[in-house]
Structure 1
Amino acid sequence: MAISDYYKNLRSQVGNDLIFMPSVAAIIKNNKNEILFQYPGKGEKWSLPAGAIELGETPAQAVVREVWEETGLRVKPKKLLGVFGGENFRYTYPNGDQVEYNIHVFDCLYIDGELSPIDGESEKLLFIKKENKPELALPYPEYIFEDISSERTYFQWDEQWLANL
Structure 2
Amino acid sequence: MNQKQKNRPVNRISISLPDDLQADVDEMVARRGFDSRSQAINDMLHQHVAEHQQKIGDEVMVGTITILYNNATCGLQKTLADMQYKHLDEVISSLHVHLMNNQTMEVILVQGPAQKVQAIADEIVTLRGVITGKLQLMAAVIPPVHPATGKQDQGADT
Q: TM bucket by the smaller chain?
A: under 0.3
- Length-normalised TM-score, structure 2: 0.28
Greater gyration radius: 2
* Structure with a larger share of its residues in helix: 2
* Structure with a larger share of its residues in strand: 1
